[in-house]
Amino acid sequence: MNLRRVVVTGLGALTPLGNTFPEYEKNLLGGVSGAAPITRFNAEKFKTRFACEVKNYDPGDYFDRKEARKMDPCTQYALVACDEAIADADLDLENLNLDRIGVIWGSGIGGLRTFQDEVVNFSEGDGTPRFNPFFIPKMIADITAGHISIKYGFRGPNFVTVSACASATNALIDAFTYIRTGRCDMMVSGGSEAAVTEAGIGGFNAMKALSERNDSPETASRPFDKDRNGFVLGEGAGTIILEEYEHAKARGAKIYAELLGGGMSADAHHITAPHPDGAGASLVMQSALQDAGLQTEAVDYINVHGTSTPLGDISETLAIQKVFGEHAYKLSISSTKSMTGHLLGAAGAVEAIASLVAIKNQTVPPTINHFTDDERFDPNLNFTFNKAQQRKIDVALSNTFGFGGHNASIIFGKPKE
């Protein structure tokens, strides 16, 4: 099959580092932490009392009150990021074939706030089943793609991928496939999550997955640091407009980068723990390279999954060294979760955008909050600690790994004629 080229023509971001793509880009390169005490609810009795929340967000700035009440924050965040990306791509919807534009979204959980609130309201009542008629449509993860298509009239393929923290990357790979095989001209893709709730924090606390560094939230996410003790929960959304190259060229679109390939694999090991040798992580990166038709030496930067957990950071680093060999020491590596926290199902989208920021600016975003070296990591690897680094970046790879052993990686390249 003659596969078509796929490029990025629009970006939108609503993140703990900023409520627009330019704000996110600026703070990402500036090494800003998005972590702070939780404001969504009273977290006084929780083991972890901080998170990377979206800040200064008021639904009334984007939706009328009646409309907002029909959507969980997970969907609201997605629509805000989509509005920005569609405007950024300069899409003239009246003159595009909407039958050939689809929406493939990613979310690991979906409407957790809605689910929690409805169950709490029922349990605190007299047993009479009084539920919001929008309970189910607000809660189900797939509804976000539906809302996006309804708002803009996109009639192409429409669904949501659910693979925990790999969800948005899986969505991007699926969207990429629909375009490269000629079934669509354009796809709206990305991911959103809004899990900073009592159930979200409490559930991850029970798993001992979250950092409990309540005395210093802004330094709690410490990928590759000896004293890392868990991830910081984040929220938000990222949207990427993917478009067939000739279609984009014909309408004079600006092009951020080309999506070169993607890979998927499973650890087949444990429901939450990564494979200790990074077997699944190795396989997914090899798969992405093969799909892109690239040798390991072509990759300049890896935006790692890098959650700041004791086991995960080690297994991913071992996988990188196994796949890239000597070239691993010429790569730049960084974990932007040190700034954004872990956006779960949306992580793949906001980190894909971080990879695009790196290519656009020829600058590697930093891994902030490095204080103490861990002897288990090779000191000759470049983790881009604490400060962004300028370098030539033609190709960037982004990794995402999810509970259940789901792995997904995508590769972007500097745009070429």
Tens of pLDDT, residues 289-306: 999 999 999 999 999 999
Report the number of secondary-structure helices (H) and strands (E) in the chain: 13, 14
DSSP 8-state secondary structure symbol assigned to residue 379? T
| Whether the Cβ atoms of residue 258 and residue 3 lie closer than 8 Å to each other | no
Residue 41: partners with Cβ closer than 8 Å, 6 or more residues away = 197, 198
Looking from the CA of 157 toward its CB, the CA atoms found within 13 Å total 21
- Can you tell me whether residue 130 is helix, strand or coil? coil
Catalytic-role residue among 247, 275, 342, 370? 342
Q: Say whether 342 is catalytic.
A: yes
Q: Residue 298, Cβ neighbours under 10 Å: how many?
A: 16
Q: Say whether 52 is catalytic.
A: no
Residue with the two structure tokens 């009479």: 128
H-only helix segments in 34-188: 65-68, 73-88, 112-123, 135-139, 143-152, 167-180
Residue 194 has pLDDT above 80, yes or no: yes
**21: its two tokens:** 């793509």
What pLDDT is recorded for position 306? 97
Phi, psi for 78 (deg, rounded to 5): -60, -45
Indicate the pLDDT class of residue 23, thresholds 50, 70 and 90: very high
Share of the chain above pLDDT 70, in %: 100
What pLDDT is recorded for position 137? 97
- Residue 279: what residue type? A
Share of the chain above pLDDT 90, in %: 99
pLDDT digits (tens, 9 = 90+) for 223-281: 999 999 999 999 999 999 999 999 999 999 999 999 999 999 999 999 999 999 999 99
pLDDT digits (tens, 9 = 90+) for 351-385: 999 999 999 999 999 999 999 999 999 999 999 99
Smallest CA-to-CA distance from 256 within 344, 350, 351, 358 is with 358
What span, in angstroms and rounded, lies between the C-alpha atoms of 108 and 165? 6
Catalytic-role residue among 165, 247, 275, 370? 165
pTM over 0.85: yes
Residue 417 has pLDDT above 80, yes or no: no
